[in-house]
């Protein structure tokens, strides 16, 4: 993405929550503060908008670190199945919506040389999208398959899906298929861009597959640690 376009996008993404906050604060100033219920509602809005800006700024910092030359990844030999189990356990514990998580893990154990924090963030970003776009009662499947000296991870949901023509773009910075829908759901379009850069920095590949209205699958592959086998 061009620098000019990037700056325009960032400015836009920051201005939106700021103007929202400004109008709610003005309404409070103009008297809404006297009405306890209204005041609490308006303060809630400004609080959520502040949190949105913090998330955005954190994502931007993350991307600027990825862009910088001294970007370092800390590769550690990791039991991949155990690593993924613990991530899924965490999602299972903290889930708020009516969503079912299904794990399809192979038998045995294998090791991947990876940066655990970064890969945790990759999977978090993918699963939070899956949750965000899942229907009530939807199933999110987390599948792992070994192929030769590579390991493939597939995270599928039964949500709205992504039209074919938009698929390649979802890994671009700030890209959202439907801005209005994503805004309501709180996205900025940076999650998958970060995921892609992180997977590629670890020698992997990431892509998406989707049927409009049927659901989405995000695939990524990572090389297995050769010392294994
Ligand atoms: N599982 C999914 N189902 C449907 N659409 C998806 C899914 N995952 C991603 N998308 C589409 O791809 C876009 C980009 O995803 P990405 O995670 O990069 O951004 P976001 O979720 O909008 O915002 P952020 O992750 O920065 O909060 C989303 O806005 C959405 O339109
Ligand atoms: Mg996202």
Mean pLDDT of 16-43: 95
**Where in the chain is CATH 1.10.287.130?**
3-67
CA–centroid distance, 52 to ligand 2, in Å, is 13
Q: What would the two tokens of residue 63 be?
A: 């991307």
Q: What pLDDT digit, counting tens, does each position of 47-67 carry?
A: 999 998 998 899 899 888 888
| pLDDT of 2 higher than 80 | no
The stretch 195-215 carries a mean pLDDT of 93
* Cβ contacts of 7 within 8 Å, gap of 6 or more: none
Residues 6+ away with beta carbon under 8 Å from 4: none
What CATH number has the domain spanning 76-223? 3.30.565.10
Q: Contact, 145 vs 130, CB < 8 A?
A: no
- Ligand 1 touching residue 159 (CB < 6 A): yes
Q: What value does the mean pLDDT take over residues 70-74?
A: 82
Ligand 2 centroid from CA 182, angstroms: 9
CATH level 2 (architecture), domain 3-67 = Orthogonal Bundle (1.10)
Phi, psi at 189, each rounded to 5°: 85, 20
Question: What pLDDT is stored for residue 139 in this prediction?
Answer: 97
pLDDT over 70 percentage in the chain: 95
Q: CB burial class (10 A; 0-12, 13-18, 19+) of residue 180? A: exposed
pLDDT above 70 for 149:
yes
């Amino acid at each position: 993405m061009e620098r000019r376009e990037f700056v325009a996008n960032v400015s836009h993404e920051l201005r939106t929550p700021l103007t929202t906050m400004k109008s709610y604060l003005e309404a409070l100033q103009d008297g809404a503060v006297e009405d306890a219920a209204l005041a609490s509602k308006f303060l809630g809005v400004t609080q959520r908008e502040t949190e949105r800006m913090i998330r955005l700024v954190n994502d931007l910092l993350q991307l600027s670190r990825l862009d910088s030359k001294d970007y370092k990844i800390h590769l550690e030999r990791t039991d991949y199945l155990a690593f993924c189990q613990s991530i899924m356990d965490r999602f299972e514990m903290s889930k708020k919506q009516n969503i079912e998580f299904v794990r399809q893990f192979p038998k045995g154990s294998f090791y991947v040389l990876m940066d655990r924090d970064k890969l945790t963030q990759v999977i978090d970003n993918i699963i939070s999208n899956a949750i965000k776009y899942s229907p009530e009662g939807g199933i999110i499947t987390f599948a792992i398959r070994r192929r030769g000296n590579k390991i493939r991870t597939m995270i599928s949901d039964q949500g709205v899906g992504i039209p074919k023509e938009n698929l390649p773009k979802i890994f671009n910075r700030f890209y959202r298929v439907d801005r209005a829908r994503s805004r309501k759901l709180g996205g900025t379009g940076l999650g998958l861009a970060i995921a892609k850069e992180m997977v590629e920095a670890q020698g992997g590949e990431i892509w998406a597959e989707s049927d409009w209205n049927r659901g989405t699958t995000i695939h990524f592959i990572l090389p297995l640690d050769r010392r294994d086998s």
